[in-house]
Amino acid sequence: MLKRRDYYSTVFLYFLKIAIALTGAVIFPIWLGDGKLSIPVILGAVAAGLTDIDDSLKGRLTNTVIILVLFFIAALGVDALLPYPILFLIAIMASSAFLIFLGSLGSRFATIPFGTLVIVVYAMLTYKAERPWFLLPSLLVSGAFWYSVVAFLFNIALPSRPMQEALGKCYQELAQFLEAKSLFFDPDDDSDLTECKLRLTQISQTLGSTLETTRISIMRRLKHERGRRSARAILNYYLAAQEIFERAGSSHVDYQELKKEFPHSDLLFRFQRLMSAQGFACQKIASELLYKERYHHDGHFKMMFTRLKESLGYLTQEYQQESQQRLLYSTGSLLKNLSGIDEILLSLDREKELLLTAKESAVLLAEPKTDSSPMLESWRKVSRHFTPESPIFRHAMRVSLLMGIGFILAEGMNLIYSVMEGETVRLTTPYWIMLTSVFVCQPNYSATKTRTIKRLSGTVLGVVVTMLLLKLGLSREGQALFVVISGTLFFVMRQARYAYATALITMMVLFCFNLIDAGFVAPERLLDTFVGSLLAWAAVTYIYPEWRYRQLSVKIDAVKMANVAYLHEIAQQYHHGRVESPLYIKVRDDAGGRAGELVSLFSTLTVEPKTTRETLDYLFKVLALNNTFLSYISALGAHRAALGDAVVLEILDEAVSRIEYYLTGDEPLDLNEHQRFLVRIEEEREKLSVDEQRLEEISLHQVQLLLRLLPDYVEAIQTPK
């Protein structure tokens, strides 16, 4: 008996969809009376599954038409050109590069071309010269069409499910982020928090990427439903996640100084407990989105905040030194920030409280307008990658060469077999070399290395398990069942458990060939997988090697510019008032995204050859400083609202101008003049009444934090290694 959680489980629903699609692909050819036709139908369904893109019903229909047309043309091209090796070699290399370049147009144009490349190799694997020219393309397309029908029906039955899953993942990662941030207040941790900061940066990068993927999914899904309440509710959850992330990622105090000044108070413990509880609340919101479990805001939060305020008030009375008072005041700003998170969580408990009006949601979902035609804009996007400096160009050249070399090797094997047999032989199994290369070759060295190891180990495991099952005398019906099960589990596991997914797809292929009496092809599968993986590894190692194109200074410049744009937009809202405008969301996401790219680069460099210890140490330093700098900017963003004090606004504008000047230029920082500006800010803070000028005090404090860090930050980013 399935429970409610099982029914709404992402894995269960995906498993069910794939299982239905593959079952139909297996049964239909058998029902027609020719089981040997099942392989191209199954492979067509698999290729369509690899190109499945979450979209609205209209968008999914458009995608399906594009996929079916491209698949038919690709399969038809294979059938027409494969007998002419020279022509086919030219065509496969040119089309491979072309399809990779199309990926620069967006996620849809990255996924569909990849599936088209896969269908080309699938057509080669199932090619038979004696068949009518239209049969193979029709079989492959029929499998793709059947999968698309199943996916379309699931879309109709559960239209909001993909967005709910994406948002649920966002809130799960938000829970991890808040829990990791709470460790900064661990009263028993006497370390310098380096490990905590690195872990938080890694989680932040993952969360930022998930939020961006979710944004794209929401934009694609809801662009035709801008004013509907359901669309506004989805946007509400997304914007709430973005604001919680901004607030949770902000910094108001020096955590080590806080521990040093108040080591025996309960203040640290209470902050840690509160942030951990807010993380748990995010986990419960994820459960609401994923499993329809109603979220109720915990009433204990009110008591937590009350006790924290009492503790803060007691310390304020007990510790009268100016430095301690300033630190406690900053801690009060942190408490206010966490109160903001609490208000967001509470609003999500009240379904009627939508943060957005229909007009606001329409503005956020509106597509950006361009002055040029769509074709010209697409050409500009693609043409800017016609340089070795672009990772898309490097990947396109590698894949093109891999397809060409793989085809030459396969033809060479067929030539050897022909000489040995004394007659012309055309085996299709050597084309597995090309298929392996397509799946294993990734845009960077570290990802390809990881994929190579997993592909090889998974293939060996799949062969061993298949041999054991066949030794046990598995019936033909049992083998057909395993084709469906292994193919379904391949899709379920291919993102998180690639080695196991490879084992499963290997089992599916071996059982398919065994069912059509093609013999046991495991040795060929092992050999071709090894050769294809080796070629992919060699391609990323020697063809436009990544270490020659790290562009560290370019990436750091992009981080600087993103931070400046984010800070500038925040300053504007201190003039005109808080608003979740598309521009603000964009610059905030860009700043987080650029920081995430630095984290990814650091992870990549740790496993790449020719990476020096000096480079890693330098990049780690930049990461740490940028993480702190961005957290101070985020704190300004979290508290943004219209300021009424003209002097404070003037100081804020001057601070932003100074930061922009030194981050975007090459001039060294004038430390004496910089210190005088800091003194001026401190004098202005002393004039403010804490009770009457709360927002002004917070904004000046955050500006001080930014400016105090600026000399170290500028020194680091202006001297890249």
CATH number assigned to the domain comprising residue 659: 1.20.58
Rounded (10°) angle between helices 445-471 and 432-440: 130
Rounded (10°) angle between helices 646-664 and 552-576: 170
- Nearest alpha-carbon partner for 249 in 551, 629, 623, 708: 629
Averaged pLDDT, 583-610:
84
Please tell me the distance from the alpha carbon of residue 355 to that of residue 360, in angstroms, as a whole number.
Answer: 9
Quote the pLDDT of residue 334: 86
Three-state DSSP state, 33: coil
- In 227-266, which residue ranges form alpha helices assigned H by DSSP? 229-248, 255-261
Domain final residue, candidates 500, 525, 544: 544
Residue 463 lies in a domain: yes
Residue 384 lies in a domain: no
CB 650 within 8 A of CB 584: no
Three-state DSSP state, 683: helix
Residue 325 lies in a domain: yes
pLDDT band at 1 (very low <50, low <70, confident <90, very high): very low
Report percent pLDDT > 70 for the chain. Answer: 90
Which amino acid is residue 209, in one-letter code? S
Average per-residue pLDDT in the chain?
A: 84
Same domain, yes or no: 484 and 558: no
Same domain, yes or no: 341 and 418: no
pLDDT one-digit tens code per residue, 319-368: 777 777 778 778 888 888 899 999 999 988 876 455 555 555 555 555 55
Quote the pLDDT of residue 423: 60
Quote the pLDDT of residue 479: 84
**Burial degree of 672 (CB within 10 A; 0-12, 13-18, 19+):** exposed
Residue 391 lies in a domain: no
DSSP per residue, 371-434: SS-HHHHHHHHHHTT-STTSHHHHHHHHHHHHHHHHHHHHHHHHHHHHHHHTS----SGGGHHH
Averaged pLDDT, 631-650:
87
Same domain, yes or no: 167 and 315: yes
DSSP per residue, 290-348: HH-------THHHHHHHHHHHHHHHHHHH--SHHHHHHHHHHHHHHHHHHHHHHHHHHH
Same domain, yes or no: 259 and 406: no
pLDDT band at 407 (very low <50, low <70, confident <90, very high): very high
Range in 224-228, 606-610, 668-672 with the lowest mean pLDDT: 224-228
Higher pLDDT, 254 or 142: 142
Higher pLDDT, 582 or 632: 632
- Nearest alpha-carbon partner for 54 in 217, 224, 167: 217
CB 631 within 8 A of CB 563: no
Averaged pLDDT, 512-517:
75
**φ and ψ at residue 480, rounded to 5 degrees:** -60, -40
CA-to-CA separations, 182 to 205, 271, 324, in angstroms, rounded: 18, 7, 22
Q: How many other C-beta atoms can be found within 10 angstroms of the C-beta atom of residue 117? A: 23
Same domain, yes or no: 166 and 155: no
pLDDT band at 5 (very low <50, low <70, confident <90, very high): low
Same domain, yes or no: 463 and 606: no
Averaged pLDDT, 684-708:
77
Same domain, yes or no: 111 and 123: yes
Same domain, yes or no: 531 and 585: no
Whether residue 615 is predicted with pLDDT greater than 80 in this model: the reply is: yes
Residue 626 lies in a domain: yes
Q: Which two tokens stand for residue 168?
A: 């649920």
**Burial degree of 465 (CB within 10 A; 0-12, 13-18, 19+):** middle
Rounded to 5°, angle at Cα 697 from 692 and 701: 170
Which amino acid is residue 474, in one-letter code? L
Whether residue 178 is predicted with pLDDT greater than 90 in this model: the reply is: yes
Residue 153 lies in a domain: yes
Q: Which two tokens stand for residue 370?
A: 């361009």
Averaged pLDDT, 511-515:
81
Give the range of the structural domain holding residue 171, as residue numbers without chain letter: 162-187+224-360
Same domain, yes or no: 651 and 590: yes
Domain final residue, candidates 493, 509, 544: 544
Domain final residue, candidates 544, 578, 598: 544
Whether residue 469 is predicted with pLDDT greater than 90 in this model: the reply is: no
Please tell me the distance from the alpha carbon of residue 91 to that of residue 86, in angstroms, as a whole number.
Answer: 9
pTM: 0.84
Same domain, yes or no: 558 and 523: no
Whether residue 720 is predicted with pLDDT greater than 60 in this model: the reply is: no
Name the domain count of the chain.
Answer: 4
Same domain, yes or no: 262 and 289: yes
* 421-452 CB burial, b ≥16 within 10 A, e <16: eeeeeeebbbbbbbbbbbbbbbbbbbebbebb
Residue 608 lies in a domain: yes
pLDDT band at 693 (very low <50, low <70, confident <90, very high): very low
Higher pLDDT, 515 or 288: 288
Same domain, yes or no: 449 and 492: yes
pLDDT one-digit tens code per residue, 262-308: 777 888 889 999 999 999 999 999 998 888 888 888 889 999 999 98
Residue 366 lies in a domain: no
**Burial degree of 668 (CB within 10 A; 0-12, 13-18, 19+):** exposed
Cα within 13 Å of Cα(157), Cβ side: 9
CB 63 within 8 A of CB 112: yes
Q: How many other C-beta atoms can be found within 10 angstroms of the C-beta atom of residue 420? A: 9
CB 507 within 8 A of CB 482: yes
Q: How far apart are the first and last CA of the chain?
A: 60
